A and B are shown apart, each in its own frame.
Chain A
Amino acid sequence: MASHGIRDRAAVVGMGCTRFTDHWARGLDDLIVEAADAALADAGIDIAEVDAFWLGTAKSGASGMLLSNALKLEGKPVTRVENYCATGSEAFRNAAYSVAAGAYDIVLAVGAEKLKDSGYAGLLPMTPPNDGTGSTLSAPALFSFLADAYAEKYGLSREDMKTVLVRIAQKNHANGAKNTKAQFQKAVPESTIRNAPTVAGMLGVFDCSGMSDGACAAVITSADAAKRFPAPLWVKGMALVAGSGTGPTDPTFDFVTLPEVTSSAAEAYRQAGITDPRAQLGLAEVHDCFTPTELVLIEDLGLSARGKGWHEVLEGVFDLDGELPINPDGGLKSFGHPVGASGLRMLYECWLQLRGNAGERQIANIGAGTSRPYGLTQNLGGPPGECLSFVGVVGAERG
């Protein structure tokens, strides 16, 4: 019994991503087709060459037919997956396993979400018929516990903690300003972020990720099939941990760490052979659904020592021109968070950055032939204490 990983046995050879925004004029099928066509064009293949499809969507419909119908496929296997906000990563993970297993040569993973047709703010709960005793809290409230707990544990005043959160939002908005596919493409002044209306606890409007529509797709091949493509991105490690969901009722759970993230990161690093992520990663795309989440993730992923993350955030270590850029594409915060697409969108930034195609926001000296050939994606589903975490590592060189 062991987890083996599929290092270098699957490769990303083309990707496409729609803009993430309020796509009032476009439906889910339009978004799926745009992302799929862009990915296929990027890889330079015809859709007929794709052997199988995975669709990740959390809230926009059910079954693989959402994709087969949108693309008018015939005779092809399409699997729909869902794993809360880590749905996009789940499409990627399962698609990659299929080629690594030798079941298919070329597959397409698509993540797509249409959130803005509901007319409501924030993510809507997905609850089956129930006894009415579940949590009634919104996601911002559940994540606001992280900010209070972190400040308490490391002795930050409420004001200092807010400054750290503001800094994270400001960074991600600044990054999004260099991204034409982002939902929000403007840098936001510090005072605007700080003085925004409260949503929950310490969190204001600018501490929350953008809700948007969007789709993202990746063409994934087996190692053999990848030979015909220039500069593939290799799957180095992938780990998913679904927690027992007992955090909120566990008196030992302290809301300053997400154990699911720590364990999924350790496994992904092990598979990828990463021993010093801070030094080896060229970028990290992490699930900044709310600003305190990014802070906690920085520590859980081993990118900063426990209790030091806040200080390094303020020092600019994770800025676009910092030592290890985090969310160079703007993250969930300003790229937007069409749930099912987000995990693949994180991969899309690795695809661009590690191959030197990120344009205005290109990070220097990362990718093939550098000391930082790896990119990380961390995708979270569910709130603190009752969540699941995906961590993926991709690399620009085959080992």
Chain B
Amino acid sequence: MTGVIAAGVYLPGHCLDPDDVTGVIGSRPGFTSRRVAGYDEDTVTMAVEAARLALWGESAPTVDTVLFATSRPPYADKTNATIIHEALQLDPTAEAFDLVGGTRSAVTAMRTAVALADSGRRVALICSDMVYGPAGSPDESEGGDAAACLVIGPDGVGAHHLCGISRTVELLSRWRAPGEAFSQRWEDRFVEEVYRPLAVEAFSEALAAADLVRADVDLVLTYGGPARLIQAVTKALGATAPTEIASGVGNAGSAMAPLLLAYALARTEAAVIALVHVGDGVDVDIWRRDGALSPASADALTTDRVAHVVPYGRYASWRGLLEREPPRRPSPARTASPPSWRGRHWKYGLIAGRCPVCDAVNVPPGPVCARCRSHGTMTPERLANQSALVKSFTTDFLAYSQNPPIIAGTVDFAGGGRMQCELTDVSVADLTIGTPAVATFRRIFTSEGIHDYFWKVRPVR
């Protein structure tokens, strides 16, 4: 039956401390802890991380379609999903598309994924978002940064889609013009009064469409709009607050639809789950649980990655709220397209080369083996899904970085192969020789509008 096969949720390893924010802003934010993406993360890098959690638990994951939804695409006029496709080293025959815009694009992506799966395709639905605003804004207080991936196909095992019902209304509740850094909102009370009855109406119709009564639905989760609206709709529908299954995440915009479904499947026993999206209309999607998700993805969904508090001032510099004096070094030159294409398996996929003669793992691969010096074509060796150990590290206060100082070192991968690279999501105090680590897809820098994507390494925790 068409349905969910596997799921992955990526939460960045940083969070804000409300006391810290209070000290700067003067009033207390509404969260007890919120996740924030690192300076070297964006919606694409987080999407890759979520997708690998869903896909790499399988021995030979295949994907026919990548659907990527976000409200903050790194590129406006270039397909972002192709970067994810390359990072996951999917087959070139797999298609990859973006659905960008408001959070409603994620609902569209989810329904499209179901429709494509009904026609026999195996779809990686990947939704990723970063919600932030000016210092002290509601978006900063209520928002969250996260990515989630659902693998949906004709051979679904976890849950299947019963119905999707929408109400569309043109109502200016949240907006951001292209090029603007922050979204703005209309007054919450007005928005609430228009949407609440619409949500009740759409939910009733969805129950009817699925041939269910309210008592049949075990879990109703509302998401999308501002906190006040979500609370009101949650109350009106007898729903569950999203924070009950996704605490400390915040409202992660476009990521919420797959994130909530993944958590509902992994963290609750609910048999019938309704997701109610409120924003630019109302969208109700009802899912029925079939069985267990693939074990690897289910395990990963039940434990949250530990988050480390990032000082508010540093976070503010990451989001451009606080301009920091750069190192006295030239900004990096833009990444060139032809070498990036030639080396795409290395650059995006972190594919090294295993020498067919002496078995040495060459990082990066090349035409001549570094150990036995034999010439020839190497066997692709994926490093990104291997465990690694930190062998040495240093702190660099001089090099250009979006977040100086750079911490870098060498790591040895379990299958052989050593890489010298940046370490991220880390402080030197956490590091020792032998710290377990894993490769992570990051944005190294941006120059002339070109984002330089490559892999770093982060401690496992």
Q: Which residues of A contact B (CB under 8 A)?
A: 118-122, 124, 127, 129-133, 135-138, 140-141, 144-145, 148-149, 152, 197-201, 244, 246, 248-251, 255
Contact = CB atoms under 8 A, between A and B. Distances in A.
A141 B329 contact: no
A122 B332 CA distance: 15
B364 A248 contact: no
A144 B454 contact: no
Contacts of B78: none
Contacts of B410: 145, 248
Given A131-B343, A135-B420, A138-B399, A200 B394 contact: yes
Interface stretch (B119-127, B192-200, B237-245, B333-341): B333-341
Contacts of B347: 131-133
B202 interface: no
A255 B433 CA distance: 15
Of the four ranges (under 10, 10 to 19, 20 to 34, 35 or more), the interface on chain B belongs to 35 or more
Interface stretch (B146-154, B227-235, B256-264, B400-408): B400-408
B362 interface: yes
B134 interface: no
Q: Which among B401, B412, B420, B433 has the greatest number of chain A C-beta atoms within 10 A?
A: B420
Contacts of B419: 249
B397 interface: yes
B330 interface: yes
A36 B54 CA distance: 67
A135 B444 CA distance: 11
A201 B346 CA distance: 28
A138 B396 contact: yes
A153 B113 CA distance: 56
Contact of B336 (A118, A129, A138, A141): A129
Contacts of A148: 392, 394
Contacts of B444: 132, 136
Contacts of B452: 132
A250 B398 contact: no
Contact of B339 (A130, A138, A198): A130
Interface of B: 327-330, 332-333, 335-336, 338-340, 342-343, 346-347, 362-364, 370-371, 392, 394-401, 405-406, 408, 410, 412, 416-420, 422, 433, 444-445, 452-454
B397 A199 contact: yes
A131 B336 contact: yes
Contacts of A124: 329-330
Contacts of A118: 330
26 contacts: A118-B330, A122-B398, A129-B336, A130-B335, A131-B335, A131-B336, A131-B342, A131-B347, A132-B335, A132-B444, A133-B346, A136-B406, A137-B396, A141-B399, A144-B394, A148-B394, A198-B395, A200-B398, A200-B405, A201-B394, A201-B396, A244-B370, A249-B370, A249-B420, A251-B418, A255-B392
Given A248-B420, A249-B418, A132 B396 contact: no
Contacts of A251: 412, 416-418
B215 to A, nearest CB: 56
- The prevalent SS among residues of A at the interface is loop
B452 to A, nearest CB: 4
A343 to B, nearest CB: 24
A54 B343 CA distance: 37
B448 to A, nearest CB: 12
Given A133-B454, A198-B397, A249-B418, 15 more contacts: A121-B328, A121-B329, A124-B330, A129-B338, A130-B335, A130-B336, A131-B342, A132-B452, A136-B400, A137-B399, A137-B406, A141-B399, A144-B394, A249-B363, A249-B419
A141 B370 contact: no
Contact of B392 (A119, A149, A250): A149
Given A249-B420, A251-B418, A121 B392 contact: no
A250 B346 contact: no
Question: What 9 pairs between A and B have smallest CB-CB spacing?
Answer: A141-B396, A132-B335, A129-B336, A132-B452, A201-B394, A246-B370, A138-B398, A248-B420, A131-B339
Nearest to A124: B330
Nearest to B370: A246
Contact of A200 (B335, B338, B342, B395): B395
A329 to B, nearest CB: 26
Given A132-B452, A141-B408, A121 B398 contact: yes
Contacts of B363: 249
Contacts of A119: 328
Contact of B340 (A132, A201, A246): A132
B342 to A, nearest CB: 7
B333 A129 contact: yes
Contacts of A144: 394
